[in-house]
């Protein structure tokens, strides 16, 4: 493991202690001139997520341990809320989302908290070949297919099963030909909230025909609390010596280039916005950061992909994964037009994503790690989001 990376890990894991005021309605602090009232975050009302107008009803599943809480809906298998203590013990919802199912149903293009697939990220021009046959997908991102097409996993109603007060399992059948992809794909996703304030996501899938698969979670994070303002002052470390540069439509060129000497070098902790306005063609193409980072190889089954820290809250997020890449997206296309939880708006660059994944457009790039899944094989993958304070 390189020394630059080791030096940056000192921020990572001061283990969270109890949250004594988790059930208080308000916390008040005095300053010299202003009385500041801090309102601890609360989970959405489960009744607001019950919708019976579809063929399958929607629901909200609650996960809790002694210090943290999470909420997951079976619409798109989405993470709706994730509440953890900040450095003062104040419960803080660090995930962007809505407080009712109707907002999700009528604004699916935001992908807030969703499981995306069958192929997360982009496939060039909506085409790929597999075993000599060409498949055509609907395009929904300029000339390209994004996150599985016009109706990907994020827009499906999954079958949910609460396993315990800390775990929920969700199932989805993506039928042969859905969005142009081959094979009946059986998908299972399990969310588990551990005692150490880690949200673990386990993925499993099988198919009856050869297909391609790139599944990930598309949560938007603000470690100061969702809707609390810019994330440009958050500190970020990404454990990657290389990234995949893109063309003007955000499709990888097929090359892997070093991050050294570029605005993409997050090997040591750097403020997200420190170089966002640099004169760099890749930043211009992405309107900021919207790029896949090639994670450094590790002997650990779950390697550290990234570490982020809220500049105000002191909340630290560590992401681990067994996937080869992570898409870092800096909220460049957020417009403040969606009413998110607690009466907030999804303002420009007020959240970021760290989507663990295979590389974009891998089915069309033979040099990239394969995303093919064959009959008789079982795809399994795990990503964890661990929270502490500093």
Question: What are the catalytic residues?
Answer: 218, 355
Bond into 118 cis (ω within 30): yes
- 223 and 41 Cβ atoms separated by less than 8 Å: no
Rounded to the nearest 10°, the torsion over CA 233, 274, 309, 13 is -160
Could you give the CA distance from residue 169 to residue 108 in angstroms, rounded to a whole number? Answer: 22
The whole-angstrom separation of Cα 315 and Cα 296 is 24
Tokens of 137: 């997908």
Phi-psi region at 76: left, alpha or beta (left = phi > 0; alpha = psi -120 to 50): left
- Within 10 Å of residue 198's Cβ, how many Cβ atoms? 17
For 312-344, give one letter per residue: b (16+ CB within 10 A) or e. Answer: ebbbbbbbbbbbbbbbbbbbeebeeebbbbeeb
Q: Give the HSE-up count for residue 214: Cα atoms under 13 Å, Cβ half-sphere.
A: 29
- Cβ atoms of 193 and 199 closer than 8 Å: yes
Which residues, in sequence order, are bridge partners of residue 381? 203
Angstrom distance (rounded) from CA 388 to CA 317? 7
Task: Give, in degrees to the nearest 5, the angle at Cα 370 between 366 and 375.
Answer: 130
Contact 202, 174 (CB under 8 A): no
Cα atoms in the Cβ-side hemisphere of radius 13 Å centred on 264: 30
Radius of gyration of the chain (CA): 20
**What is the dihedral angle through the alpha carbons of 254, 257, 262, 267, rounded to the nearest 10 degrees?**
120
State how far the Cα of 117 lies from the Cα of 123, in Å rounded to an integer.
11
């Amino acid at each position: 493991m390189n020394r630059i990376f080791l030096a940056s890990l000192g921020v990572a894991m001061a283990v969270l202690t109890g949250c004594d005021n988790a059930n208080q309605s308000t916390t008040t602090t005095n300053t010299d001139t202003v009385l500041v009232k801090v309102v601890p975050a609360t989970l959405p009302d489960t009744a607001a997520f019950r919708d019976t107008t579809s063929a399958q009803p929607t629901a909200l599943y609650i996960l809790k341990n002694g210090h943290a809480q999470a909420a997951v809906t079976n619409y798109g298998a989405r993470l709706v809320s994730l509440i953890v203590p900040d450095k003062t013990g104040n419960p803080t919802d660090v995930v962007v989302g809505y407080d009712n199912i109707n907002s999700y149903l009528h604004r699916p293009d935001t992908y807030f908290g969703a499981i995306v697939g069958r192929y997360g990220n982009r496939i060039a021009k909506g085409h790929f070949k597999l075993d000599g046959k060409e498949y055509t997908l609907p395009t929904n991102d300029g000339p390209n297919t994004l996150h599985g097409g016009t109706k990907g996993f994020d827009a499906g109603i999954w079958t949910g099963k609460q396993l315990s007060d800390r775990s929920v399992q969700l199932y989805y059948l993506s039928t042969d030909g859905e969005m142009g992809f081959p094979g009946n794909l059986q998908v299972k996703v399990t969310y588990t909230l551990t005692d150490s304030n880690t949200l673990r996501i386990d993925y499993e899938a099988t198919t009856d025909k050869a297909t391609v698969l790139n599944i990930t979670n598309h949560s938007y994070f603000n470690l100061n609390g969702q809707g609390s303002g810019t994330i440009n002052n958050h500190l970020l470390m990404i454990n990657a010596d290389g990234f995949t540069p893109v063309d003007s439509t955000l499709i990888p060129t097929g090359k892997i280039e070093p991050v050294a000497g570029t605005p993409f070098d997050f090997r040591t902790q750097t403020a997200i916005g420190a170089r966002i306005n640099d004169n760099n063609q890749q930043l211009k193409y992405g309107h900021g950061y919207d790029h896949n980072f090639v994670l450094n190889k590790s002997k650990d089954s779950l390697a550290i992909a990234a570490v982020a820290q809220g500049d105000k809250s002191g909340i630290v997020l560590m992401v681990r994964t067994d996937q080869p890449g992570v898409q870092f997206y800096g909220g460049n296309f957020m417009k403040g037009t969606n009413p998110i939880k607690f009466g907030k708006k999804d303002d420009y660059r007020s959240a970021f994503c760290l989507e663990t994944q295979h590389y974009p457009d891998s089915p069309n790039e033979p040099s990239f790690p394969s995303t093919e899944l064959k009959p008789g094989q079982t795809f399994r993958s795990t990503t964890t989001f661990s929270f502490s304070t500093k």
